[in-house]
Structure 1
Amino acid sequence: MMAQQKTNRWFRAVIAAVALLAALGLVAAACSDDDGTAAPPPKTERDAYTQWYVQQALERYDDTGRQATIDYYNNEAGADDQWYVFIMDANTGFLVAHATIPSRVGTNSGERVDITGHAYGPLLRASPESGHWVDYVFYNPQTDTGGTKHTWAIRQDDLVFASGWYEDSYPIPRPTKSEPGSYTRTFVEDAVWFYESNGRDALIDHFNSPNSTDPSSVDGQWYGFVVDLNGVVLAHPTTPDYVGQTVHEILGDTPEGLAAADGMVAATETGTWVEYLSRNPQSGERETKHTWVVKRDEILIASGWYESG
């Protein structure tokens, strides 16, 4: 009788163990996709989702190779809501893939500086194999405005794979016209983000019309203009006759004007201020103009404010 009870207890224990293993198997299956890969974290866990998203790109690279991965992430398949993958050559800093802004492919992102002056490009380029976070202000293609972006970047061989998420609001209050210097920088910043989203030709067309909006090409005394690296004006909404001329020809009637033209064509991605006398289209008078110039790839994007007296 005792032997039979022991046998029954042993049998029940085995059944319980099998049931437990089966339950664990169901839980594991529920936590995986149909193909057996780990399911993504919820997008509300933005750090975790970003790291998972970049990991998918690394696994694709391991499975399909360099060129197939680059081709995949050079189209919209490489984007998911606010998340998108971009890939940088760690040796040169040049982008080889960008899922949402194709005009950036072939440009040097390893030297990028955001509108606050933060040099985030070198940090991305120096990403370790263990990965790290890089924060900077950047254009959000979903909201068509700027925000602080938190990017997870990790190196694999000679490539850096990265993606990030955006803060829900603009990082700082937008300045008003009572702060002309800050307002000017924001005016140029909006033009830069338009360029990042739409490309060179669209920006030139946009600023060759005085009626363009979103962003405005003209806003009172503020207007945007575009110059190439040789100083040739490509777009000007208030004085179309300037298009095709160089800034040296336009400003060169005084030594101060020539110096300002030199400073303009020497502008970097960090941005620079130049000052010169120019006709204020609102007052019709020659006034001191304070112009903020930012280099992006092969063009200079600028705007300024006037100071009378």
Structure 2
Amino acid sequence: MRIYAISALLIALTVLGAGCTGDGRSSPEITQELVLSDAVSGINDELESIRASVGENARVLGETGLTGAAGREALKQTLLKYPWAESSLVISRDGVVVMAVPENYGGIMNQNLSYQPQVQRANREQVPIVSEVFYLEEGFYGISQSYPVFGTEYLGYTDITYRSDVLIGRVLTPLINGTPYDAWAAQTDGRVIYDTTPEEIGKNLFSDPVYQLPGLQEAFTRIVSEPSGSLEYSFYDLNWERNVTKEARWDTAGVDGAEWRIVITRSLDAGEPQQVAGSGRPPAANATDEMKSFVAEAAAYAREHGRTEALSAFNNLDGEFVRGDLYIFAYDMNGTVLALPFQQGLIGTDRRGVHDSNGVAYIDGMIRVAAEGGGSLYYVYPNPANGYAEELKLGYAVPVDDTWFVGSGVYIPDVGTGFTTSEKDALVQRVKAARDYAQEHGKEAASAAFNDLAGPFAAGGAYIFAYGMDGETLALPYQPDLIGSNRTGFEDRYGVNIIDWEIAAAKAGSGFVYVTYYNPDTGGDGLKLCYVAVVDEEWFVGSGVYAAET
């Protein structure tokens, strides 16, 4: 199958190159055992580093009081040190939230959380604790890593909250990139807390229907029961295309009560994933128009023939809705996969909250644009035409009715999207520092600072921008003529409604999006990974990192 790229986009963006993908390791000396050993030690190092930082916060709070300015500053600096973490709380010995950082978590101030098991445990045991995954008051499933606060007596505890899959992924992704290995992790109760296939995270090995296959339950029982070992089992491959036999080796990571089984697998099957032959045609200049017409045709077919018949047609690899590079996918508005012809193992799964390799929540984005009548967005996704290599894709989705939608996309293989962990960390840290500045100084003063070309917030392509939740432009230092204008509905050159996407991510608290936008360092447009964070209910800040030039 040919790579059906967008010619205009390639002309504009090919100079951006292949991105930064130097985290991978491809040496044949990288064994499964070595990857597992490095993974366990790396995860433990991360947990111990966090424990030390939260412990220092506890020391400051013990000396200055649970609600003092020094303690708040210590918590803020720790969150900047770990930019991928979500929040930090101080909870009294009675279970009441007495401090919450950042300030937009102020809504949980003074709440009594003493009913929560993890709060009860922290106040009862009065030792450093890494909790199990649970639904936090902040609105996400995560982990609370806590440390007791002592003055002349026990006062309460402080914590830092984060998603387990983010912490584990930071360690595992560079270890397995460029190797034949895959990875997942679970608590001893069977909850999956990390998987290279994001759809698996949060499922339970023993109760989820997808795991009720011959031999799997026996394998998973051994893995959670034994601290280390090896075995073989059969399950879908990484791309959910076919069943393969996997060799699994596992060991245990965790500190302060955490007991995480880290599992490294490799396929024992010699067969290669199926690739579909392409048409051999050169890239078409009207690829986006053809894609949109294709999606409109699929939506009309679905309305005429009904959901059941339409989904059968969409999932037929030899049918009329798989045309070279173009294929139709379909989702329920609740995120359930209805049609995905090259990854039919995912049909029936809930993909809400699934992120691509750079943290972009593209399924939620598809649901949003479809619910709004249709639209486009970028994301990184496996290309079945190229051995399921991850490539940038411009997707387009429209509703069939108010319950489900259809879509398709064109791959853009020559545009780099492999942003490194350090690049993304620096981006998030930059935005969160700007958010903290905005919360401290207020909208007017902060916007003036962000717009000051001589100031620290206008560092070329790393500049800070700011918008109101209504789309009003508050800070855009290299385009001052746009200050004060309302940019809702603004589309980039490839039809992606980028400001509305950023507003949606900000309303969720924070998030990553892709845009094609003016780069002040080069004077031209470039693909940009942006991160935005809410300041308060009225406005948000953001910044971006452009794909590297060759």
TM-score range, shorter chain: 0.3 to 0.5
Specify the structure having the higher radius of gyration (Cα): 1
TM-score by length of 1: 0.41
